Amino acid sequence: MAVWTLGINHTTAPLDLRGRFAFALDQVEPTLCALRSSMSRQPEAALISTCNRTEIYCAGDKPELEHTLDWLAQTGGVSSTLLRSHSYTLQDDLAARHAFRVASGLDSMVLGETQILGQIKNAVRAAEAAGALGNTLSQLFQRSFAVAKEVRSSTEIGAHSISMAAAAVRLAGQLFEDLSQVKILFVGAGEMIELCATHFAAKNPKSIAIANRSLENGEKLARRFGAEVMRLADLPDRLHEFDAVVSCTASTLPIIGLGAVERALKKRKRRPMFMVDLAVPRDIELEVKALEDVYLYTVDDLAGVVQTAQASRQAAVAQAEAIVDAGVLSFMHWVDQRGSVPLIQQLNAQADEWRTAELARARKLLAKGEDVDAVLEALSKGLTQKMLHGAMAELRASDATARERASAAIQHFFLRKER
């Protein structure tokens, strides 16, 4: 059984390219079905898609890395050559190591962050729902969860981490002297917006508003922070009211355009606006960044901020990597053992066949009134003869090499002392 991984992330691909391969959670199941249908062998498959990475994990009889890459390139509307130049492909133990490092937060923009673990668990559930998860990938991900748990409980990898949300607050604090006088708008109501709202709310801003396509979801989040709720459709007309805008939705197209921001700045009499776009693909048009009075930061722009806290955690990385190494060895041992499963099944079936035959013979003898001890003796001899027949035949073979090979095998399996 081969395991392979194809992926792009924040270190290998620019934001706009990552945006072409961003899949919302409800898109994962049909995407996996399409991928597997494109392959004759229908491998196991799982898809992880976050703002920082898109990764496909597969397991099958033979690795099909080139086909996987070509299929993904076509899905994203780019050439295979372009995708290959920004992607990584890994196989077997290297694929397992990568999965364990990702789950443990060792491959994240924010070293040791925990959000990725929940995202992987969501991806696994989606793969299960699509019927794409088999024994091998199930084992891979369950073991990745166990490794991640051990890394977090046994090392200081997550200590003093600066999350994307905290980084956004830090940047806002550099622009505005007093965040308690700032009006903040959050666009979206997902996990990342909830995290950002929690961090900004701790600074007691002047007001908080949440704009979301679903008012119900927006109201649920707004109640936590005493925030105002507004419809996404009202955003262009009210954008000028806010000093800071943090956006993270699953929209496939920008929802805040250059024209809307220009109009907002005019109404604000050129007072600066702080904007954070955490979405992949972008929520805010790229051209907005060129406006003189707008300070726009994307996911990739925040990388420098979150890196500043990483030096103090490098000592824990070595410990975490050792835990990952042990997990990889254990998983690959399990995969190797899987190759023996058909033979084990055949051996068990043969033993059951012998046992059934001897039991049937013994029951007939008992039904005829034969002595119980004599029947048990015959049963044990019959089983013994059946089990040893093949070995004895090999020892009597005319070929000396065959006899020598059989002798060594018999001594190993039948005559060795218990260790």
Residues annotated as catalytic are 51
Contacts of range 345-348, beta carbons closer than 8 Å, 24 or more positions apart: none
Tokens of 223: 């109640």
B/e letters for 221-253, b = 16+ CB within 10 Å, e = fewer, are bbeebebebbebeebbeebbebbbbbbbbbbee
Residue pair 323/147 in contact by the 8 Å Cβ criterion: yes
Distances 22 to 82, 282, 311, 365, 415 between C-alpha atoms, Å: 16, 10, 30, 71, 60
Please provide residue 190's backbone torsions phi and psi, each rounded to the nearest 5 degrees: -85, -170
